[in-house]
Amino acid sequence: MFTPVILAGGSGSRLWPLSRQRFPKQFLELDGELKGTMFQRTLARLDGLAHALPLVVSNEEHRFVVAEQLRQVKRSSRRIILEPMARNTAPAIALAALDASRNGDDPVLLVLAADHYICDESAFREAVNLAQIQAREGCLVTFGITPTQAETGFGYIQCGNELQAGGFSIAGFKEKPSTELAEHYLAAGNYLWNSGMFMFRASRFLEELERFRPDILAACRCALDGSEEDSHFLHIPPEQFALCDDESVDYAVMEHTDVGVVIPLDAGWSDLGSWAAIWGVRAQDSEGNVLQGDVLSLDTHNTLVQSHHRLVAVVGVENLVIIETKDALLVAHRDRCQQVKEVVQQLQAEQREEFISHPLVSRPWGHYDTVDRGERHQVKRITVAPGECLSLQLHYHRAEHWIVVSGTAKVVCGEKELILSENQSTYIPLGVKHSLSNPGKVPLELIEVQSGVYLGEDDIVRFEDRYGRR
C-alpha cells in the first residue's frame, strides 16, 4: 500500500491557446484516445495498484477545478494541498511528505505529475511495484524513460550498476543536451530520460531534504504549521511559503543523495510538453494529419488542426500546428512549437486576457461564458448547476440585468426575494447586495448584461459564500 501524491500545479504554457493560466493543460483532455482530462487519467492509471487515497498538491487558483474534476470521476482525495504560489517540485513534495507524516505515519509516496501521457499503463504499474520494493528499503527511487530518439528537450539520468532488487544505481543527472550529446547518450545505451516521477518513504525523503536543503524543509514546516483546513482544502499561508526557495527536487535532493535508484520505464511516456508532442501521440490519418473538430482539409500533410468553435479549412500546407479557440488562433510550424512559450510571455507582459483565461470560465457553482465585451458593457451566459448558489455580494462599479433563458432562478436583491422562470428578468442596481441560486433540478441558464465604468472580476465584495471564497 502506498500513497499517491499528484502534483497538479503546472502551467502548460507551451500548449497555449488551449492551456491558460487559470485552466492549464493538466485539466484538459489532450491525448484524444481515452476519456478524461490528464489529471483524471493520472488518477485512473493507479487502478489495479493497492494504494491509499491520493494527496493532491495544486495552486490555490485551481482549487475548484481540482475538486470538480475529482467529483466528475467519482474519486476522493485524502487532501487537496493548495500552494499560494508556485515554488517548484521540492517544496510541493515536502508539503505532501510532511502532511502525510502528521499522525506518526510513514507511508511510501508515489509522486506523479498530473499532466503526463502513458500509453502502456500495465508496464507503468509493473514499474511501480518494482519501485515500491526499493522504496521500502529506504531508497529514493525515480523512473527513467527508455529513450526512443536523441531528444534535446529532456534531462537524462545516467545508469550506474544494476541492482539485485531491480533497477540501477544513479551515476549522474544530465541537463538537456545538445543534439550531438543526445545522440551520444542514445548510442551509449545507459542513459534514460528524466521523467520527474518518484517513489520513497516520506521519512526518507524528509531526512535527505534535511541533509541537503534544511532551509526548504524549515520553510515548508513553518508554512504547514500555519495552514488552515476547511472541508475540502488545506490552505498554505502565502507569507510563510513565499520564504521557500523555488527549487526542483532533482537539484535539491536527487542529484546529491547516495541512496538514489532509477527504474527504467518503457511505456510510451510523453510529458505532452508541446503541440508537436500532441501530434506525435494522436492517431494520424493516411496523410499524417490529426484533425479535431470542424475541419476541412485539402492537400494537407503531417499537420495538427484543432477547431473548437468554427469551421477551419486548410489547403496545401504541411508540418503545421493550427489551434482555434473562441478568442485566439495559433498557427505554428511543428518544429517551432517550443516557441509558443515566447508568445505566452509576451501576452503576459501585455496583461492580455488571452493569457489568463478562456471566455468560458469554471466556477464551483457552474460556469460563465463571455459573449460580448465593450468599453462600458459586458454580456455573459451564466449556467448554475442544480442546487448551487452564487455568493451574497455587491459591486461598486457596475449594475447587472439578468434574463432567464431556461430553468428556475432564486434571486435575492436587497430586501427582495424573487423566483424567476424562463423569459423573466430582473435588475440589480450598483451597490446593492444580491445573490443567485438554482432551486430546481435542471441547470439554470441566464444572460447577464453588465454596465458600468469598471467591469473587472475583482469588483466583488462577498458577504456569504458556501465555497469559502474571500
Q: What is the pLDDT of residues 324-364, one digit of tens each?
A: 999 999 999 999 999 999 999 999 999 999 999 988 888 88
End-to-end CA distance of the chain: give it in Å, rounded: 38
Q: Is the pLDDT of residue 186 over 80?
A: yes
Per-residue model confidence (pLDDT) at position 30: 84
Domain boundaries 360-464, CATH class: mainly beta
Give the model confidence (pLDDT) of 160-180 as tens digits: 999 988 899 999 999 999 999
In the chain, ranges of CATH 3.90.550.10 domains: 3-270
CATH architecture classification, 3-270: Alpha-Beta Complex (3.90)
Give the model confidence (pLDDT) of 358-400 as tens digits: 888 888 899 999 999 898 999 999 999 999 999 999 999 999 9
Mean predicted confidence (pLDDT) in 98-114: 94
Average pLDDT, the chain: 94
- What is the DSSP-derived secondary structure letter of residue 277? H
Share of the chain above pLDDT 90, in %: 87
Q: Is the pLDDT of residue 231 over 80?
A: no
pTM of structure: 0.89
Per-residue model confidence (pLDDT) at position 470: 67
Quick one: pLDDT band at residue 103, thresholds 50, 70, 90? confident
Burial class (CB in 10 A: 0-12, 13-18, 19+), 348: middle
In the chain, ranges of CATH 2.60.120.10 domains: 360-464
Residues 6+ apart with CB under 8 A from 292: 32, 305, 306, 307
Closest CA to 250 of 262, 235, 238: 262
Per-residue model confidence (pLDDT) at position 3: 97
Per-residue model confidence (pLDDT) at position 348: 95
CA torsion 308-314-319-323 (nearest 10°) is -20
Give the model confidence (pLDDT) of 8-36 as tens digits: 988 889 999 999 999 999 999 886 666 89
Residue in the structure block whose three cell numbers are 458556501: 466
Distances 329 to 32, 217, 305, 308, 381 between C-alpha atoms, Å: 20, 43, 11, 10, 22
Q: Is the pLDDT of residue 5 over 70?
A: yes
Per-residue model confidence (pLDDT) at position 468: 75
Q: Is the pLDDT of residue 454 over 80?
A: yes
Give the model confidence (pLDDT) of 195-219 as tens digits: 999 999 999 999 999 999 999 999 9
Cell triple for 315: 489547403
Residue 131: enclosing H or E segment and its boundaries? helix 121-136
Instruction: State how far the Cα of 463 lies from the Cα of 470, in Å rounded to an integer.
Output: 9
